[in-house]
Amino acid sequence: MAPPEIMQELDDQELMIQYQNGDHRAFEVLYKRHEAKVYSYLKKRLPHSDNVEEVFQNAFLKVHKSRHNYNPKFLFVQWLYVIARSELLDFCKKKKVVHIEYIEMASEDTSVDGELELKDYKNLSEKEKELLSLKFISDLDYSEISEALNISQSNARKIFSRALKKVKEALIKGES
């Protein structure tokens, strides 16, 4: 177990490893680090609902219960937002929330892999893969992506544009 003063300095992946090894203080640090952003993410998608708190708590409860399934090779924030989005969709289905945004979210294929094969990703950098995943799978906007990846919003947009161009080129090559 890391000393308390060191916990704040660990990155999210290292904190999750600590948490998987039984250090519950690591979860407290992760919760404090991400609670405002996750709450804001959910509030934007449930603007007229009094149930944001319920969905928010369920998301962090699922992080707790699923902690042993987390793979530190992947960004914790990406995993967290996938869980939050999943809880949001579950809530919408359970409560039969009918709102155009939720219908679109539920009906769209949330897996980029649904359309692209693994070979289509080979030309992408790790940062491009992470960004596409945060944008399409976690449904984050550019401000949230820039915070998650610690880059500027304009840089996030450039990386996104470059990654999409590479994917389109891979798809075009695959068709011919």
- Locate the domains of the chain by residue range: 1-108, 111-176
| Four-way CATH pick for 111-176: 1.10.490.10, 1.10.10.10, 3.30.465.10, 3.30.750.210 | 1.10.10.10
How many helices and strands, by DSSP H and E, does the chain display? Answer: 9, 0
CA 97 – CA 92 distance, rounded (Å): 5
Model pLDDT for residues 47-104, shown as the tens digit of each residue: 777 889 999 999 999 999 999 999 988 889 989 998 998 898 888 777 765 443 443 4
Model pLDDT for residues 24-61, shown as the tens digit of each residue: 999 999 999 999 999 998 988 887 778 899 999 999 99
> Which pLDDT score, from 0 to 100, does residue 34 have?
94
> Which pLDDT score, from 0 to 100, does residue 110 have?
39
Question: Which has the closest alpha carbon to 29: 17, 44, 41?
Answer: 17
Q: Could you count the other beta carbons within 10 Å of the beta carbon of residue 75?
A: 19
> Which pLDDT score, from 0 to 100, does residue 121 have?
63
Q: Which CATH architecture has domain 1-108?
A: Orthogonal Bundle (1.10)
Model pLDDT for residues 110-148, shown as the tens digit of each residue: 333 334 444 556 788 888 888 887 787 777 888 888 888
Strand segments (E) across 41-164: none
- Alpha carbon of 136 to those of 24, 38, 129: distances in Å? 31, 16, 11
Output phi, psi for 163, to 5 deg.
-65, -45
CA triple 84-89-94, angle to 5 deg: 125
CA triple 93-96-100, angle to 5 deg: 90
